[in-house]
Amino acid sequence: MAKMAASVVESGEDAFRKIFKFYKRREPPPDLRDVTDFCRGVPGDKIFPAELDPAAVSDEAAAGVGLKPVRDWRAFGLQGYPGFIFISNPFLRGSQAFWVRQCLKTYPQKPNICNLDMHMCPADTQDIWGRSAHELGSPSSGKRQPKTLLEKLRWVTLGYHYNWDTKTYSANSHTPFPADLHSLSVQISAACGFPEFSSEAAILNFYRPDSSLGIHVDESELDRTRPLLSFSFGQSAIFLLGGARRTDAPTAMFMHSGDVMVMSGPSRLLYHAVPRILPAPQERAEVLEHLGAASLQQGGGGVLEPVSDADWAVCSRYIQSSRVNVTVRQVVAPGRSLPGTPPPSLLRTEGGPTVGYRDGPAGGDAGKRKRRNSGSDDAVET
């Protein structure tokens, strides 16, 4: 546990909750000296180089999804967290732009599901990008404009659509998983020693500067022998990785744009949370700034496409204040299938439109965004 943060925890207290509050606090801002920064990371007492399998991914296959050759990745493990792998921005220069554009323009499109669908009719959530791009792409007039739909986006689900109310996936709520994101996930997991990963569900989280994600475990997937992959783009975050018990003291680490986290083995079911979004450090911000079409490298059979200047103007403006996180999960073991609709007893019955756990009231992020897993009642406000 971090020294600074440790001083706020007395024995027997809920260490995770205290440390979460410590890093979420605005005034005075928390001391960040004990937050592990893998990108600066001279492997220290807690960080060690992680072993990857460079032979599992050809350079061409890596380039085709925008990744550097595996031998050039800087991957780390963390003492006390077997199965946890942190890959410090393995993306080729320029290729994050493609993934950011997919997250903002492509993946929120139907048939995928997003928080706005919980209280808006399908016709109004049909073209989130088209209805936001003009305003987001042009310099602000200085006046406070109403928020665009893109700025109101909090989550998108892909593949098996996670049901926030029942905390289950269902065979009845499934749409095709994007081939490009599957391809990226397959290369990452193969390099980490999981050659047969099948991307079946993803959750995209869209964080504003004041957003956070509460303490939880991702345990809704039926096959927990497969890793959970996490990709971060845009602004930075503090990520807290705890233990198998909800109260275990967590380790704090930065996640910057391009960083990839793999939670596998005993680390697959650890408690974790995101208490704070932070401005990207200068060197990462620069990498994100000018990533036009020209800088894309293309491998044979790759999925990357150039990002137009007009699209990049919107993306770049969005990520100047926001963070996008994508977690990709395998839900079922090979040859197994998911049950259908969950029993009605598990479905919320109160009247009115169903509101997703992470969804604030219409038009605002002033409301609560809740993440309830493991029967926990942890609620985090944005």
Binding-site partner at residue 100 among Mn ion, ligand OGA, none, CB < 5 to 8 Å by type? none
Q: b/e string for 255-289 if b means 16 or more Cβ within 10 A? A: bbbbbbbbbbbebbbbbbbbbbbbebeeebbebbe
Interface with Mn ion, residue 221, by CB under 5 A: no
22 or 162: CB nearest ligand OGA: 162
Residue 255 binds which one of ligand OGA, Mn ion, none, with CB within 5 to 8 A depending on kind? ligand OGA
Give residues with Cβ within 8 angstroms of 290, minimum separation 6: none
> Using CB atoms within 10 A of its CB, is residue 337 exposed (0-12), middle (13-18) or buried (19+)?
exposed
Whole-angstrom distance, CA of residue 3 vs CA of residue 15: 13
At 214, list the tokens: 């509460």
C-alpha torsion angle, residues 201, 377, 205, 275 (rounded to 10):
-140
CB of 371 to Mn ion, least distance (A): 8
C-beta closer to ligand OGA: residue 274 or 355: 274
Interface residues toward ligand OGA, by CB under 6 A: 203, 205, 213, 218, 230, 232, 237, 239, 255, 272, 274, 325, 327
Q: Residue 13, CB half-sphere, CA atoms under 13 Å: how many?
A: 12
> How far are the Cα atoms of 90, 184, 233, 257, 331 from residue 72, in angstroms, in the given order?
8, 17, 20, 17, 30
* Shortest reach from residue 218's CB to Mn ion, in Å: 4
Binding mask 172-211 for Mn ion (x = CB under 5 A): ----------------------------------------
Residue with Cβ nearer ligand OGA (105 or 329): 329
The answer to whether the CB of 283 falls within 8 A of the CB of 231 is no
Place of tokens 């892909």: 158
Give the separation between CA 41 and CA 207, rounded to whole angstroms.
25
CB of 98 or CB of 162, closer to ligand OGA? 162
Quote the tokens at residue 202: 């993803």
**Closest residue (Cβ) to ligand OGA?**
325
Binding at 112: pick from ligand OGA, Mn ion, none (beta carbon under 5-8 Å per type): none
**Rounded Cα gap, residues 335 and 11, in angstroms:** 46
* Amino acid in the structure at residue 156: V
Structure tokens at 206: 């869209």
Stretch that binds Mn ion, among 106-114, 217-225, 291-299, 328-336 (CB under 5 A): 217-225
Q: Which stretch binds Mn ion (CB under 5 A): 186-194, 218-226, 299-307, 332-340?
A: 218-226
Contact indicator for 215, 273 with CB cutoff of 8 Å: yes
Amino acid at 93: R
For ligand OGA, the closer of residues 259 and 311 by Cβ is: 259
The option from Mn ion, ligand OGA, none interacting with 249 (CB < 5 to 8 A, set by class) reads none
Q: Which does 257 bind (CB under 5 to 8 A by kind): Mn ion, ligand OGA, none?
A: none
Q: How far is the CB of 225 from ligand OGA (least distance, A)?
A: 18
Residue position matching structure tokens 């932070």? 278
Considering the complex, state which of residue 246 and residue 272 has its C-beta at the smaller distance from ligand OGA. 272
Which of 258, 296, 241 shows the shortest CA–CA distance to 19? 241
Burial category of 366 from C-beta neighbours within 10 Å (exposed 0-12, middle 13-18, buried 19 and up): exposed
Q: Residue 325: name its binding partner from ligand OGA, Mn ion, none (Cβ under 5 to 8 Å by kind).
A: ligand OGA
Contacts of 43 (CB under 8 A, 6+ apart): 49, 76
x-or-dash string of contact with Mn ion, 81-120, rule CB under 5 A: ----------------------------------------
Q: Which is nearer to Mn ion, 219 or 305 (CB)?
A: 219
Of the pair 180, 218, the CB lying nearest Mn ion is at 218
**218 binds Mn ion, rule: CB under 5 A:** yes
Provide the β-strand partners of residue 238. 254, 276
Number of residues that bind Mn ion (CB under 5 A): 1
* Nearest distance, CB of residue 212 and ligand OGA, angstroms: 9
Output 22 or 312, the one with its CB closest to ligand OGA: 22
Looking at the Cβ atoms of 150 and 253, the one nearer to ligand OGA is 253
Least Å distance between CB 97 and ligand OGA? 20
Q: Which residues bind Mn ion (CB under 5 A)?
A: 218
